[in-house]
Amino acid sequence: MTMTHYMELLAVNQPWNLMIFMAIPIILAETLAITELYILFTRKFDGAVYYLNRFAGIAVGIYFMGIIYYIVTNAVIPVTRAGEWRTAIDVIAVGSYVIAGLPLIWIALQEVDLVNQALDQMSRLKIHATCVALFLVFGHIAMIAGMVDPSILGYQVANPHQISGQTDHENSDSALNQKIKQNMPMNNQAHSH
């Protein structure tokens, strides 16, 4: 089975990529979503839950700024230049992941009063909730599309030869895989033991 670049990103450099690109942003985003529901139901704009919501909104927005920059410069541009997209499903998976971060960045900008300053609390809350919903929609599209085998839409590995016991994924040396190995500060090549 072949993988989308999205799944390959999560699979290489274990466990670091899984933590950096999935666990940390999802924990922050889910904290934001859960506290958002509490605020929507209670309309309490003070207290621990409200401040946790603000913290999560700012943190996940800033975090996604870094993720989007990294993905665009180290994956989207090189993979596009090399013509290595693994069918439309691959583009949908990576593109949706990048798009999912944009509403979270908007939340962070709103929380630090760089946008929507003139709006009242309820209008800001509506935008906040809409941004969380957009993140959830695009994030789940990315996850679902990322798990699809690109060969379903006709993708074939450039080098069909397999080394005994290895999958096509392990034999592939895509631009994304190369970039991740070169640029990740915590990759296995950097360790001397």
**Other C-beta atoms within 10 Å of 144: how many?**
13
pLDDT tens per residue, range 129-142: 999 999 999 999 99
Which pTM was predicted? 0.79
Model pLDDT, residue 156: 84
Model pLDDT, residue 159: 63
Q: Does a structural domain hold residue 177?
A: no
**DSSP codes of every residue in 64-88:** HHHHHHHHIIIIIHHHHHHT---HH
The CB-side HSE value for 193 (13 A sphere, CA atoms) comes to 0
The pLDDT profile of the chain, 193 residues, written as one tens digit per residue, is 789 999 988 888 889 999 999 999 999 999 999 999 999 999 898 999 999 999 999 999 999 999 999 999 999 999 999 999 999 999 999 999 999 999 999 999 999 999 999 999 889 999 999 999 999 999 999 999 999 999 898 888 776 554 444 444 444 455 555 555 565 555 544 444 4
Tell me the pLDDT of the chain averaged across its residues: 85
Q: Does a structural domain hold residue 185?
A: no
Residue 60 buriedness (CB in 10 A; 0-12 / 13-18 / 19+): buried
Model pLDDT, residue 34: 95
Q: Does a structural domain hold residue 169?
A: no
Query: 35, 49 in Cβ contact below 8 A?
Result: yes
Q: Does a structural domain hold residue 183?
A: no
Q: Does a structural domain hold residue 23?
A: yes
Chain-centroid distance, C-alpha 164: 33
Q: What is the total count of domains within the chain?
A: 1
CA distances for 64 relative to 57, 60, 110, 148, 163, angstroms: 11, 6, 15, 24, 37
Q: Does a structural domain hold residue 160?
A: no
Distance CA 186, CA 21 (A): 13
Q: Does a structural domain hold residue 162?
A: no
Residue 168 buriedness (CB in 10 A; 0-12 / 13-18 / 19+): middle
List the Cα angle 34/35/38 in 5-degree steps: 95
Which domain covers residue 68, as residue numbers? Answer: 5-149
Query: 2, 148 in Cβ contact below 8 A?
Result: no
Q: Does a structural domain hold residue 163?
A: no
